[in-house]
Amino acid sequence: MDYGLSEDILSIRELCADIARRHIRPVREELDRENRFPHEVMKILADSDLLRIYIPEAYGGLGMGSLALCVAAEELSRACAGIATTYAANALGAMPVILFGSEDQKSRYLPVLASGEKLAAFALTEPDAGSDAGGIRTRAARHGDAYVLNGTKQWITNGGEAGVYTVIALTDPDRGARGASAFIVEDGTPGFSYGKKEDKMGIRASATRELIFEDCSVPAANLIAREGMGFMVAMKTLDNSRPGVAAQAVGIAQGALDEALAYAAQRKQFGQRIDSFQGIQFMLADMATSIEAARALAYSAARMIDSGAKRFEKEAAMAKVFASDVAMRVTTDAVQILGGYGYMKDYPVEKMMRDAKITQIYEGTNQIQRSVIAAALIREAASREK
């Protein structure tokens, strides 16, 4: 199905499917087992211009927008969510610069991210600030023409591999979330180092690492927007990225359904293929229907962003929460269809089930997404009553 996608976006999907078939599927088990970053695959993605998709044309990108990024993330996730997470996190790290960066910042950083010369990462989460994004403790104090950062960020995707980080830190702690600001910090900056690399349950081909700032001096020119806008930068970034997480979840679910269909067609019990059993057929039908619904929500939210809609946080949250719940349910059902084989690492559905779980957690837990949706509904209802 083409889902009304343009020829250019369909070409992106075909390119990602080809790369997945030739370069990702053959190594995904090894990368997962060894918890190894996919340097070779990321170079292939960069050489194929897939890192340019979401970068504006004025800065070396293709300017294709959110829907194209979602389609790419979905197709890559269909093969390996860990590699797709590395890919999508690059867009996440670039998004604050795209949305709020100065002309100088965009000119300095977006071309190198578009080419793949450097990767990006987004650093918001801390040991005591996850769903409560306003609870960050990392400080940034102004000293002349620089800001000095002190603090720790936790569970940062692409941590230790990225060359460019967008970091949220407090410039005015007395104002709470309104005292947060956003900064661009480059790898190699004195006082910036890396801590523990996490040994994760899923998406193990991606790097998740602690960032440590100890009297890390960052040029004042690397402040994104202005002081006090960090929380807004972070929230708008996450609103823009959540359809991508939804698309990733759709890709994981689709990959699991593909495996379940293939297995059910060749596995025999009681003298016949198990896809002839109504119980299995109903499971497959429900899996496919849920995936299509999740895909429609993800694409719809992405199209809203590309249309220039002023508010889309409700739709982005709906897409993320629904698609990630679908991914968890579909991968669990795929393991069930494969039975004992599904529980073994020899078959990819075991990995897909582990990978799916994180989509319910990162970039805002599904409980937070439901709060976002409810708040938007209440606001809209109140507006209609006026």
pTM of the model: 0.96
Confidence at residue 1, expressed as pLDDT on a 0 to 100 scale: 79
CB 98, CB 109: distance < 8 Å: no
CATH of the domain at 349: 1.20.140.10
Last residue of a domain, one of 195, 230, 265: 230
Confidence at residue 386, expressed as pLDDT on a 0 to 100 scale: 72
- In whole angstroms, how large is the CA radius of gyration of the chain? 21
Tokens of 37: 């970053």
Same domain, 255 and 195: no
Same domain, 261 and 365: yes
pLDDT band at 312 (very low <50, low <70, confident <90, very high): very high
CA 45/CA 114 separation, integer angstroms: 11
Same domain, 267 and 336: yes
Same domain, 248 and 339: yes
CATH of the domain at 53: 1.10.540.10
Last residue of a domain, one of 60, 90, 119: 119
97 has pLDDT over 90: yes
Share of the chain above pLDDT 70, in %: 100
Write out the DSSP string of 65-117.
Answer: HHHHHHHHHHHHHHH-HHHHHHHHHHHHHHHHHHHH--HHHHHHHHHHHHHTS
CB 98, CB 107: distance < 8 Å: no
Same domain, 378 and 247: yes
134 has pLDDT over 80: no
Confidence at residue 128, expressed as pLDDT on a 0 to 100 scale: 86
* Residue 307 in domain: yes
29 has pLDDT over 80: yes
Please identify which of the residues 14, 186, 363, 380 carries the catalytic annotation: 363
Active-site annotation holds for 292:
no
* Residue 126 in domain: yes
Same domain, 45 and 170: no
130 has pLDDT over 90: no
Share of the chain above pLDDT 90, in %: 95
Left if phi > 0, otherwise alpha if psi is -120 to 50, otherwise beta: which for 176? left
pLDDT digits (tens, 9 = 90+) for 349-374: 999 999 999 999 999 999 999 999 99
Same domain, 208 and 127: yes
Q: Give the residue numbers spanning the domain of 364.
A: 231-385
Same domain, 170 and 300: no
Of the candidates 361, 358, 309, the one whose C-alpha atom is nearest the C-alpha of residue 331 is: 358
pLDDT digits (tens, 9 = 90+) for 1-11: 789 999 999 99
Same domain, 309 and 321: yes
pLDDT digits (tens, 9 = 90+) for 242-277: 999 999 999 999 999 999 999 999 999 999 999 999
Mean pLDDT of 296-311: 97
Same domain, 106 and 159: no
pLDDT band at 385 (very low <50, low <70, confident <90, very high): confident
Mean pLDDT of 46-50: 98
Last residue of a domain, one of 67, 92, 119: 119
Number of domains in the chain: 3
Mean pLDDT of 39-59: 98
pLDDT band at 177 (very low <50, low <70, confident <90, very high): confident
Confidence at residue 384, expressed as pLDDT on a 0 to 100 scale: 87
* Residue 1 in domain: no
CA distances to 18, 156, 270, 353 from 309, in Å: 33, 29, 55, 34
14 has pLDDT over 80: yes
132 has pLDDT over 80: no
Mean pLDDT of 122-133: 87
Tokens of 318: 């709906």
Mean pLDDT of the chain: 97
H-helix or E-strand spanning residue 227: none
Phi/psi at 344 (5° precision): -100, 150
Same domain, 347 and 332: yes
